[in-house]
Structure 1
Amino acid sequence: MSSTTRDRILDALEGVLIERGPSAVTLESVAAAAGVSKGGLLYHFPSKGAMMTGLVRRLAERAEQEFAAARDSPEGVARFFLRTSVPGTVAEAELYWSVIAALRSKEGVPPEAAELIGRMFEQWSRLLHEELGDPVLAETIRLVGDGLYLSAIAGLPQPDPRLLERVLDRLTARADAARSSGGAGDGSEGAWA
């Protein structure tokens, strides 16, 4: 069995999570969706937990590509982060919501998977702190971005688009000012006047 079979299994796992939710994830349901035997699935993933960890690892690899794109972006990490803080597709939102739900249920999901998700969120925080140098501004941007993302994947009401645009404009203006000053912001309250 090749690595393409492994990818097909992970694609099938994503599909089951999106279409039927975490409670529908079994070795049998994923094997059937992937078009492989249960033995073929077990060759790549010896348990449901290993399969979920494999999926989270793949999501972490995608996140690493996004971190690199943010670091290399001429718009800067903060603008990149805020611009991408809402899932690009309904499928992406449903996938991350299902993964988080599976992690929260702790049903056969190893701690490693939760740690990987946590590291993805922590990496955004590190990148923002490195770029901005102002811990208050960096955390404010991180919290806004995380809040937008988590609200979107949870299906919660979204802010008025005009108000959200004003919020993001204000934050990105502060981020641009911090970047142009070499990240020398002191995080004082005066910066928010």
Structure 2
Amino acid sequence: MSSTVQTVQYRPAGKVPNVTASTTRDRILDALQEILVQEGGSAVTLEAVAAAAGISKGGLLYHFPSKEAMVNGLVGRLAEQADDEFNEARSTPGGVVRTFLHTSVPQSSEAAVYWSIIAALRSNEFGSEEARLRINHIFAMWSTLLNEEIGDPVLAETIRLVGDGLYLSALAGLPQPDPELLAGLTDRLIAQADAARLGR
């Protein structure tokens, strides 16, 4: 689900830093992300992203030969961040359930990015099957990890449905539960998961 995705602030005109291929690629992906969030998938063109990234169209094409390749790159970066989160959650006993539930209400910047990408993919504005599969993998991986940690498939699925419901509601801008009620719900599910995990 999610690690926070931040908008990068670029250095103003003047002294030009030494730009590597890696930072240029990230600048392109940051520009794509910003256009997606602010204007939607229909505003994404190679020319618009190149201009926002401050590079030539040829420079963009060197890294990403098509709009679909750019989207795959952005989703790939999100997937790498999610993999870091999965590894961190695995490293502590009971950490998967805690991490999953505590990140089920995303920060607004993260919600905006995921919502924009999912909306663009669902509308077939990019037609990227690779990106769809990677987004699906991020959500499906939490289900796998929850089952591995808890050992009770019914409880694991209950926790997944609660977390996904909270996350997708936040993405869609729907009303969120009372924070006190949410804390009580989270604490109860964590306690049940700990009992199931330790009772195996």
What TM-score, normalized by structure 2, do the two folds share? 0.87
Cα distance in 2, alignment partners of residues 129 and 108 from structure 1: 33
Task: Write 1 or 2 for the structure with the bigger share of helix.
Answer: 1
Q: Is it true that 1:34 corresponds to 2:43 in the alignment?
A: no
Paired position in structure 2 for 1:57: 76
RMSD: 1.2
In the other structure, the counterpart of 2:88 is: 69
Q: Secondary structure at the match of 2:36?
A: helix
The CA distance in 1 between the partners of 2:118 and 2:40, in whole Å, is 11
What is residue 177 of structure 1 aligned with on the other side? 195
- Relative to 1, partners in 2 of residues 1:129 and 1:75: Cα closer, same or farther, differing over 3 Å? closer
Q: Which has the higher contact order (CA 8 A, sep 6+)?
A: 2
Q: Which residue of 2 aligns with 1:2?
A: 21
Q: How many residues align?
A: 181
> 8 Å contact 1:137–1:175 — kept in the other structure?
yes
Q: CA deviation at 1:142?
A: 0.7
Per-residue CA distance 1:91-150 (angstroms, 9 max, x = gap): 111001001001101122310100001111111000000001100100111111111111
How far did 1:55 drift?
A: 0.4
Quote the residue 1:160 is aligned against: 178
**CA distance in 2: counterparts of 1:170 and 1:121, whole angstroms:** 22
Q: Within 5 A, what are the aligned runs for 1:1-193?
A: 2-87=21-106, 89-182=107-200
Alpha-carbon distance in structure 2 between the residues aligned to 1:61 and 1:95: 15
Give the whole-Å Cα distance in 1 for the aligned partners of 2:126 and 2:146: 34
Residue 65 of structure 1, CA deviation: 0.2
The amino acid across from 1:79 in the alignment is: R
Please list the CA deviations of residues 145-183 of structure 1 after superposition, one character each: whole Å capped at 9, or x if unmatched. Answer: 11111111110001122222222121111011012113x
- Report if the CA contact (8 A) 2:41-2:125 is conserved: no
In structure 2, list runs of 5 or more residues that go unmatched.
Answer: 1-19
Q: Supply the distance in 2 between the matched residues of 1:74 and 1:30 (Cα, whole angstroms).
A: 43
Listed one character per residue, the Cα deviations across residues 29-72 of structure 1 (whole Å, up to 9, x for unaligned) are: 11111001111111111111110011000100000000001101
In structure 1, give the amino acid aligned to 2:61.
Answer: L
Identity score, percent: 67
CA contact (8 A) 1:141 1:171 kept: yes
- Residue 41 of structure 1 aligns with an amino acid whose one-letter code is L
Distance 2:197 2:153 in 1: 13
What residue ranges of structure 1 are gaps of 5+ in the alignment? Answer: 183-193
For residue 111 of structure 1, what is the amino acid of its counterpart? E
* Secondary structure in structure 2 of the residue aligned to 1:94: helix
